Amino acid sequence: MNAVQQHVSVLLEEALDALAVRPDGVYVDGTFGRGGHSRALLARLGAAGRLIAFDRDPAAIAAGRTIADERLTLVHAPFSALAEELDALGVNAFDGLLLDLGVSSPQLDDAARGMSFRFDAPLDMRMDTSRGQTVADWLAEASVGQITEVLRDYGEERFAHAIAKAIATARAGGAVATTGQLATLVEKAVRTREPGQHPATRSFQALRIFINQELEELSRVLPEGVARLKPGGRLVVISFHSLEDRIVKRFMRDESRADRLPARLPLRADQLPKPRLALVGKAVRPSAAEVAANPRARSAVMRVAERMEAA
């Protein structure tokens, strides 16, 4: 089974419907992955349409190059580089931005990527394997306090300090260099865990989010994306983690409000700054049927907003 077949795009039809695709529009897929959403989007575009797809994973870009479609432009870069890369392409505005956050199935299922405790492999976790520090490298030099902070803030791990101390003790006798080593350390340090969840789940998730700066990348791309959305264009974001969804929810809420000025400021209603976004519907979650067919979809939540006319 090839990588394209292994990855099942979550909320595929719902996301495409939310984008309200115009056949001649320009769209950005900020997370190409294995191209599930991009392929479906291309199918809805006409001959004059254009799709620009970002991904920082070299394997994803390689998979994208198998698509022979002149309407598709692939960009090997994180979506936080949106403005810079679009400037290089001469694209000033677009009709829709789709962000499918988190990690893709091929990344989780490839032992060499070191993102899963299901395999004993080098402790890497980088989404872009061509640059940056691995988790093993970071753990070798981080203090107990730094490790505790990452596990607590990015993984909401109750036993963050105990795990950090266990890592520090273990590395005194040699590097914590594999997923198996880390999973064993965490399992011994975590006293209790939610039923059905491996003790290392939160730690692995926290380290992956941290080493890839996933929350910071998201916080940067949202305002840059909205700034380039055409009036009537849609922002569609699929999150898989409560910290991601919190950022998206607050951003969309704040950008849809016109009353963010100090109270009692002497302004008429028509003098208030116009909101940049309008919320579209409620948060969408996968159906029971989709979760049954693809269990990794269970935590997904999709939020949608539309760009308002400029003030």
Binding residues: 35-37, 55, 79, 100, 107
Distance (Å, whole) CA 307 – CA 171:
50
Helix axes 82-89, 214-228, angle to 10 degrees: 40
Where is the binding site for S-adenosyl-L-methionine, in residues?
35-37, 55, 79, 100, 107
Task: Quickly list DSSP for 89-140.
Answer: HT---EEEEEEE-S--HHHHH-GGG---TTS--B----SSTTSS--HHHHHH
Q: How distant, in Å, are the alpha carbons of 7, 160, 247, 264 from that of 33?
A: 8, 31, 22, 48
Extract the tokens encoding 307: 């760009």
